[in-house]
Structure 1
């Protein structure tokens, strides 16, 4: 809506245009019996009347009042609107390559926008995970049968971390005479790292 060749509206014009997207219609309020009261209420999904052609054009393009709950319920619709804006910006930059401040953005996250983070799986984190699922009969049966009826609490898990982790994870296959499991596994959801240590030997 800025003038040809310009990137943005003034702050005042931008605020007025954005505010117009959230101006909704006021309608008469009715009581539980359907009778009119002396009050009015907001029709949160209907815009008010406007004679401004720019406001009208923007509302026709949006189609839906962009409240947070509306965006959440109609995410595919608003993703399409984001795509339309991105396409417009790309055409704008191609037409006006020397415009200062012009930027395109990624519609969805790409690999360069985040870094993989590893999560530690030890006795404390396992307790936290299982605590959320303790009401599941399968989880309860597993704790009783595989962990020898250990009391289900964080202190017991920490005190018996060697037995707990070896019951849940089959780590013996990775151990050698010179490398032993040290009660911690790291994973980023794709790969896993089993932490080992070289046992201290005395002569």
Structure 2
């Protein structure tokens, strides 16, 4: 097996072990045993357990950026861009729920790992700002940055909420876009008593009639 293939194998096992058992409870011995190599082989590739965690986070960061960027670029129009980007983000988080849960427990991570987590946020800001460029406020850079900050902060909190509520996971992306695209007024419009049904698919189709 080539060095690159071995590193990918170690990273895959480490992501699984860290997500299932947590960073503190996972040892390099555990990872080496799962991979089928000696512990010095793992240390040779990643220097330390922290180095292995950082490599896992960096890999996750690149995958997330690519997923959101690809979804946004394939969109039909600005609203669809927001919707598809949100769906890609929430789908990615759900698919990698264990690792995401680990990253949220920042108190268990080192300063370097926390810096990597913040790098994920900065990267999402960059990807979102790039997707919004030219679409917000006549191309006003400050407003584009503001909306990107709003998107990234809201999606991170909603991902945490959805993790605790399995019944909303299939809807959270569309609900998020309903509010972000149409404004909070959409929640108070509709019935006389102020209740409004949130239906991403319905509203998405209505907006294109």
**Same topology, TM > 0.5:** no
- TM-score, normalising length: structure 1: 0.22
Greater C-alpha radius of gyration: 1
Of Structure 1 and Structure 2, the greater helix share is in 2
- TM-score, normalising length: structure 2: 0.21
Higher relative contact order (CA 8 A, sep 6+): 2
